[in-house]
Amino acid sequence: MLDEKRGLLYVVTKEDNRLYVVDLAGKKVLRQLPLGGEGYTCLLSPDKKELYISIWGEKKILIYNTLSNGFTDSVAVGDHPNDLCLSRNGRMLFVANASDNTVSALIIRARKVVETLNAALYPASRRVRPPMAWR
């Protein structure tokens, strides 16, 4: 995730479970912080003060403060969180959860999941189950 104004690149990895903060002008890694699990992706808040990180194996989102350069919070979500999306006003974060086919909707300020949406292909199933013709 790129912060163009500050010239910083934020990268999460699954190989060594870390967040890297890279100074683009100086072409050097400023920080390497352990995530405690496989980082899937990250997303900056609209004001660039927070970075939201989905942790694939930990069923949570980590919140990193870009000004103090540290983790400030985490929020439990569904199984295998991956892609992240912010609402237009930046107040809600939507988290896709791969293994249970849900989307966690959380209010960022409250650090709380307020709804879990079922995104399964078949309403009665939370896991992907292809039709018999696909098997």
Under a CB-based contact definition with an 8 Å cutoff, are residues 68 and 52 in contact?
no
Q: In the chain, how long is the greatest CA-to-CA distance?
A: 55
Q: How many structural domains does the chain have?
A: 1
Listed residue (85, 87, 80, 130) closest to 101, CA to CA: 80
Q: How many residues does the chain have?
A: 135
| Position 130 pLDDT exceeds 60 | no
Average pLDDT score, the chain: 92
What pLDDT, in 10s, does the model give residues 16-36? 999 999 999 999 999 999 999
Within 10 angstroms of residue 9's Cβ, the number of other Cβ atoms is: 16
Under a CB-based contact definition with an 8 Å cutoff, are residues 53 and 39 in contact?
yes
Query: Which one-letter amino acid corresponds to residue 87?
Result: S
CATH code of residue 46: 2.130.10.10
Q: Domain range spanning residue 30? A: 2-134
